[in-house]
Amino acid sequence: MVIDYAGFTPLASLIGGAMIGLSALLLMAVNGRVMGVSGILGGIIRPAKNGGQQDGQSDISWRVLFLIGAIIGPFIVWYIQGEPIALTPVASGWMLPIAGFFVGIGTAIGAGCTSGHGICGLARLSLRSLAAVASFMVSAIIVVYIIRHVVA
Region class of 91: left (phi > 0), else alpha (psi between -120 and 50), else beta: beta
Model pTM score: 0.71
Name the average pLDDT for the chain. Answer: 83
pLDDT at residue 115 above 60?
yes
Lowest-confidence pick of 10-19, 42-51, 113-122, 128-137? 42-51
For residue 3, the model assigns a pLDDT of 59
